[in-house]
Structure 1
Amino acid sequence: MSLSGCTNVKKKADTTDTWSQIVAKKKVVIGLDDSFVPMGFREKNGKLVGYDIDLAKAVFKLYGITPDFQTIDWSMKETELRNQTIDLIWNGYTKTTSRAKNVAFSDPYLTNEQVLVTKTAQNITSTADMKGKILGLQSGSSGYQAYIDQPKVLKQYVKEAIQYDTFNNAFMDLDVNRIQGLLIDSVYANYYVSHKSDPSSYRTVKTGFASESFVVGMRKGDKTLRKKINRALKILKENGTIDRLNKKWFGTTNTNTN
């Protein structure tokens, strides 16, 4: 696509309100990484489940709209959104200043942080203990961006950083010592480790990166869609739905939701 073509696509994304089209089709397309437990992932039978799956269905049920969940390359999520392949990014999507240049955000609905997961046998208890070691990161993740933007927290110690398409692949390399640490969302780490046969073989280390807010990402032109999602999130918070989902997926209602 030419430069002028790219500019036109971005202008359309920044100015076009697609709510009437979504209502007419009674369908909204949501892009996600379908391996991100517990936010959106495939069970062994292939069924798509997760916190964000349940929340998105509850939000759009209020408007008689059915979410159509599409698996995407997470590193290309903003491009997919801009090109209108998807209508929303909803999958443990973190609000950041760099993303705000191209994406509009819903109100925050969940708090997250970046943690370092290691094997207990490595005796890593701080980011400084990663000195000379190999770190795993997910491509296009907020953790990767924090790692690059704040090098004094972790990057200064690391010998090498390897990027992965999914955290599942990164965990496999962690288990066989190809990497010694994995920078990952706490919601993923807590859920994944707790479901392993030997959770005690993993250690989760605080990093010092600032806490993050999970939001829904959408095109800047979709002002009505943003208002509708924010209204629905408020309703679901007030009627106890969000607390029930927190209990279901995290075992507690205390998740620092906004």
Structure 2
Amino acid sequence: MKMKNLLLGTLAFVSSLTLAACSSSSTTSQDNWATYEEEKTITIGFDKTFVPMGFEATDGSYTGFDIDLATAVFEKYGIAIEWQPIDWDLKETELNNGNIDLIWNGYSVTAERQEKVLFTDAYMDNQQVLVTKKSSGIDSVAGMEGKILGAQAGSSGYSVFESQTAILKDIVSGNDATQYATFNEALIDLKNDRIDGLLIDRVYANYYLQQEGIISDYNIIDAGYEDEAFAVGARKSDTTLVEKINAAFKELYAEGRFQEISNTWFGDDVATDAVKN
């Protein structure tokens, strides 16, 4: 009897694993829009330290430009968002394993990422910049020769640093950058002179340094890379979801809601032509 119960228990466990695997495979290989509509919820993965795009406030709530924009988009479809903080270095893995349904948090479009995800229209432009302390005397990319560079692991900044031929990679110490889990950690090391320069998104650098009241103490230098665009990343199979987000972007802009959110966070209209037209 004991052996029979053990066998039945084992079969039930294996069956549950099989069903879970099938469910995950189904989620990641089909168009899931009908499911999102039926369940009235969708899970979005984000880096909770990326101000001002999406981050954790002092009261523990999530806030930021992307938080507000995503909320406005899915309000149009009656769908609630479950915000899931993730390791940014594993974002595509989390998406394609079915743990999240979207990557939405200042997510730059790159050729490498286009092989892994389906992007929406770009909704905002961005640029990678080199941030240095004015007291260091480094006021140009050339000034980083032999110096220590920092970057966030898995960021578009580190990706272009690795893939694009530019003087920065050729001249910095070790021809590589010290990688950090978050920009916050990297900025702390920059403040304390443990690194000499930081490759970072312009939007993050401007907001953080202004909020800290120290922007006058730092140089924000064009790093020499091509401009980028922020978009939302979905699984390749979720074509309807991407179409719905694109349509909502245009509707929100026509209504003036997109501009309201943009002005709240940037004091300017940051929408791309794809959103406006």
Q: Write out per-residue CA displacement over residues 49-86 of structure 1, whole angstroms, 9 at most, x where no aligned residue.
A: 00000000000000000111000000000000001100
Q: Structure 1: where are the runs of 5+ without partners? A: 1-7
Which TM-score applies when normalising by structure 2?
Answer: 0.87
CA distance in 2, matches of 1:84, 1:207: 35
Counterpart residue type for residue 150 of structure 2: G
Query: Secondary structure at the residue paired with 1:168?
Result: helix
Matched residue, 1:45: 59
**8 Å Cα contact 1:127/1:207 also seen in 2:** yes
CA distance in 2, matches of 1:53, 1:94: 16
> Cα distance 1:145–1:15, how it changes in 2: closer, same or farther (>3 A)?
same
Q: 2:124 aligns with which of 90, 97, 110?
A: 110
Matched residue, 2:108: 94
Query: Secondary structure at the residue paired with 1:91?
Result: coil
CA RMSD of aligned residues (A): 1.7
Q: CA deviation at 1:240?
A: 1.0
Number of residue pairs aligned between Structure 1 and Structure 2: 251
Matched residue, 1:237: 253
CA distance in 2, matches of 1:186, 1:9: 40
Counterpart residue type for residue 206 of structure 2: N
Counterpart residue type for residue 158 of structure 1: V
Q: Structure 2: where are the runs of 5+ without partners? A: 1-21
Query: Secondary structure at the residue paired with 1:173?
Result: helix
Q: 1:183 aligns with which of 192, 199, 207?
A: 199
Which TM-score applies when normalising by structure 1?
Answer: 0.93
**8 Å Cα contact 1:9/1:83 also seen in 2:** no
Query: Secondary structure at the residue paired with 1:93?
Result: coil
Query: Secondary structure at the residue paired with 1:117?
Result: strand
Q: Which moved more, 1:199-208 or 1:102-111?
A: 199-208
Q: CA deviation at 1:153?
A: 3.6
Q: 1:226 aligns with which of 242, 246, 265?
A: 242
Matched residue, 1:216: 232
Matched residue, 1:172: 188
CA distance in 1, matches of 2:271, 2:203: 10
Q: 1:72 aligns with which of 70, 86, 90?
A: 86
CA distance in 1, matches of 2:167, 2:247: 37
Query: Secondary structure at the residue paired with 1:204?
Result: strand
> Cα distance 1:183–1:257, how it changes in 2: closer, same or farther (>3 A)?
farther
Counterpart residue type for residue 71 of structure 1: P
CA distance in 1, matches of 2:156, 2:259: 25
Higher helix share: 2
> Cα distance 1:9–1:123, how it changes in 2: closer, same or farther (>3 A)?
farther
CA distance in 1, matches of 2:273, 2:79: 25
Query: Secondary structure at the residue paired with 1:143?
Result: helix
- Report percent identity of matched pairs: 47
Matched residue, 2:16: none
CA distance in 1, matches of 2:161, 2:25: 31
CA distance in 1, matches of 2:108, 2:270: 19
Query: Secondary structure at the residue paired with 1:132?
Result: coil
Higher strand share: 1
Residues 146-157 of structure 1 mapped to structure 2, 5 A cutoff = 146-157=160-171
Matched residue, 1:58: 72
Q: Write out per-residue CA displacement over residues 104-132 of structure 1, whole angstroms, 9 at most, x where no aligned residue.
A: 00001000000001111112121111000
Bigger Rg over Cα: 2
Query: Secondary structure at the residue paired with 1:94?
Result: coil
